[in-house]
Amino acid sequence: MQLDGIGALVAGGASGLGEATARELAARGARVTVADLNEERGAALADELGGAFVSTDVADEAQVQAAVDAVEGLRFAVSCAGIGWAERTVGKNGPAQLQPFETVIRVNLIGTFNVLRLSAAAISRGEPDADGERGAVVMTASVAAFDGQIGQTAYSASKGGVVGLTLPAARDLARQGIRVCTIAPGLFDTPLLAGLPEEARQALGASVPFPPRLGRPAEYARLACHIAENMMLNGEVIRLDGAIRMAPK
């Protein structure tokens, strides 16, 4: 799929991996719609890129539908919205809280499926290209789906759900000519890590076999765009992690 001139949606596009992806898509000629809860950052980015912004909670059906409807000629959607939570299954104060677990699942897994199903429905109404392709969707998991650390039950379960969603969704959508892939980033320099002291950030980066640093959001963005452009990438979960395998803690 050629990105130049297509309509693209980036959920969670106001910062981090999503912002980098929105920028890369715009640089390749796509018309980008940013969907995010952060109205100030999202609107500023959309204005800078000559795109559009829609205030969106990915777990809200009506809001995601409004974001999808705002994209003219939608061919490509990237789902980057997500939150984290750390709590041991049983800690000093007893069992883990249920509500944070439910919230993480709702945003990271249900929100991702919400973007997938509604964007795919819109893409399916478009005209196929000469190869029969109508578009593609990229979702975001994490190496925590495979190497979840102590305290990551909620986050790992949510991202593991995205991994499990990938192949059946790709099979579901094959007859519409829509591809589905998932990127599972390792340790990336995103707002989730921004609050850590610099010494801790350097230590995390040094734990990556090669390159021994935190991943750059632009590297995620380039892979997302490559997935769009490479028609044989479908139903696959790609670890983007510098060969790291996370220790228990």
Active site residues: 155
Q: Angle at the Cα of 233 (from 232 to 234), degrees rounded to 5?
A: 105
Q: How far is CA 68 from CA 90, 124, 210, 217, in A?
A: 40, 12, 38, 24
Q: How far apart are CA 228 and CA 137, in angstroms?
A: 8
Query: CA dist 91 to 18, 56, 95, Å?
Result: 34, 34, 6
Residue 65, token pair as written in the block: 């539908």
Report the alpha-carbon distance of residue 43 to residue 235 in Å, rounded: 32
Give CA–CA dist 217/26, Å, rounded.
Answer: 15
Strands (E) in the chain, as ranges, are 7-11, 31-36, 52-55, 74-79, 90-91, 94-95, 135-140, 178-185, 237-240
Q: Read out DSSP for 139-150?
A: EE--THHHHPPT
Q: How many CA atoms lie within 13 A of 160 on its CB side?
A: 11
Cα 206 to its chain centre, rounded Å, is 25
